[in-house]
Structure 1
Amino acid sequence: MTSAQPSTDIAPLLSVSDLEAWYGESHVLHGMAFDVAPGEVVTLLGRNGAGKTTTLKAIMGIIEKRTGSVRFEGRELINAPSRAIAKAGIALCPEERAIFSSLSVEENLLLPPRVKPGGMSVEAIFEMFPNLKERLSSQGTKLSGGEQQMLAIGRILRTGAKMLLLDEPTEGLAPVIVQQIGRTITRLKEEGFTIVLVEQNFHFAASVADRHYVVETGKVIDMIPNAELEDNIEKLHAYLGV
């Protein structure tokens, strides 16, 4: 197995180790372990049911039963409630997007509280996602899938979080919107955000990430730097069954 540690002397912003998680009696995570350096984009790749989404939820503390270690900026968060984890500066953009259908774009955007200074302004979010400005008064039910994804990402950018957990942000979206989401992730990285990305679209992941953690049966089984992807493509295809 390739080392799951980043090739850098910089202390990790997020360090997950020996992470176990359960849904009721179902044991889903079996010792997840990985690090993310400040300013990195890393992906969690794996087949459906491997534990990728559960990992993001466990980091955020929204799974009731979890053990192990989740350290962010050197602070242990494994026993912290989800509201404290959000205030520490971590935000989750869930796969289902969680847009409130009865609220307008503006109301959805302004709903989450700011948890730390430095959150992106509404004007900056509109500059990044001009579609949202055009749909400001539209209800959530009136938005396309792509617009809902833009709103879900824009909403967490307001909060001041610097660690973003993005769960399947391109699922079901048209290629032109996927490209826009890719440009957005690249820009966010340039602006100092750190991102953990769960993504089924391997080609998209390869276009934005620094490193890829391969997840199988609730644990990391390999780590592949993006620069070494071409040399490991057959192995990755075997892991992912593509």
Structure 2
Amino acid sequence: MPDGTSVAAETLLSVERLEAWYGESHVLHGVSISVRKGEVVTLLGRNGAGKTTTLRAIMGLVGRRSGSILFEGRETIGLSPDGIGRAGIAYCPEERGIFASLDVTENLLLPPRVRPGGLDLETIYTLFPNLKERARSPGTKLSGGEQQMLAIARILRTGAPLLLLDEPTEGLAPVIVQQIGRMIREIKARGFTVLLVEQNFRFAQTVADRHYVMEHGRVVDTVANHEMAGAMDRLHEYLGV
């Protein structure tokens, strides 16, 4: 199980006092989080807590935002979503965004490389043997689990060192959830950093180093993974599980 004591001290992403709006709706209220290089960090919370909006705000995909978002020490709050992606942050949304008219290989080759260090097709197919078997299958023919694997594999090609994953286990069978967990641990072992939105804290506990708990657009608690056993009462209260 992951242990926060083993991660590097270098901060890759630092979010401070982040506010975000959709139209007139004020969704995030002073969110501050940090992610160190080589970590897997989760955002936990009920539906509507602001977890997905936090990822979207980091990517510049909200109507309006303010505060500070430092990536590798560079302020990105003024960049466009395209500029943020090219800076080295990759986003895998909950809806996955698989192109139905393209086959698996074509979907994998679609995003541009933004840095050296991205995984090549051979390595991706080693990590995701299901995708290798379905290499010529169109997106419409993939199962939900295969689509999720493809969505994550696709951003691994880009070379972006920071991956934002939104609810990668949502709606998947337990055996596929286990595969996603193994894949996230492998991604970390290969030097990628992950900020993960998740509702299932039991799954999060198997992959993450640290956890931020969100309520009503605010961070209300932080729990290191090795402290999870002692924080169960709090987590049950926050998450209603």
Q: 1:203 Cα shift?
A: 0.8
CA offset at residue 11 of structure 1?
Answer: 3.4
User: Deviation per CA, 1:166-216, whole angstroms, max 9, x where unpaired?
Assistant: 000011111111111100111111111110010111111011000110001
Q: Which residue of 2 aligns with 1:118?
A: 117
Aligned residue runs from structure 1 range 1-242, under 5 A: 10-242=9-241
Structure 1 position 8, deviation (Å): 8.2
| Separation in structure 2 between the aligned mates of residue 189 and residue 217 of structure 1, nearest angstrom | 30
> RMSD of aligned C-alpha atoms?
1.4
Q: Deviations over 1:1-31 (max 9, x none)?
A: xxxxx99882311000110011111110001
Count of aligned pairs between the two proteins: 237
The one-letter code of the counterpart of 2:205 is A
Q: Is the 8 A contact 2:7 2:37 kept in 1?
A: no
Q: Is the 8 A contact 2:8 2:37 kept in 1?
A: no
Rounded Cα–Cα distance in structure 2 between residues aligned with 1:185 and 1:36: 16
Unaligned 5+ segments in structure 2 are none
Q: Supply the distance in 2 between the matched residues of 1:73 and 1:38 (Cα, whole angstroms).
A: 9
* Residue ranges of structure 1 left out of the alignment (5+ in a row): 1-5
Q: TM-score w.r.t. structure 1 length? A: 0.95
Q: For residues 7 and 105 of structure 1, what CA distance do their matches in structure 2 show?
A: 35
Provide the C-alpha distance between the structure 2 equivalents of 1:9 and 1:191, rounded to a whole number of angstroms. Answer: 14
**Residue type at the aligned position of 1:37:** R
The separation in 2 between residues aligned to 1:241 and 1:101, in whole angstroms, is: 36
**CA offsets, 1:87-129, max 9 Å, x none?**
1111011000010111111111111111111110011110010
Q: Distance in 1 between matches of 2:6 and 2:138?
A: 45
Shift of 1:64: 2.7
CA distance in 1, matches of 2:187, 2:58: 21
Quick check: 2:8–2:38 contact (8 Å CA) kept in 1?
A: no
Residue 196 of structure 1 aligns to a residue whose secondary structure is strand
Q: Secondary structure at the match of 2:11?
A: coil
Runs of 4+ in structure 1 over 6 Å off? 6-9
Q: Which one-letter code corresponds to 1:241 in the other structure? A: G
Asked if 1 retains the 8 angstrom alpha-carbon contact of 2:12 and 2:37, the reply is yes
Q: Give the distance between the partners of 1:193 and 1:111, measured in 2 at CA.
A: 20
How far 1:234 sits from its partner (Å)? 0.4
Q: Which amino acid is 1:76 matched to?
A: E
**2:9 & 2:131 partners in 1: Cα distance?**
37
State the TM-score, normalized to the length of structure 2: 0.96
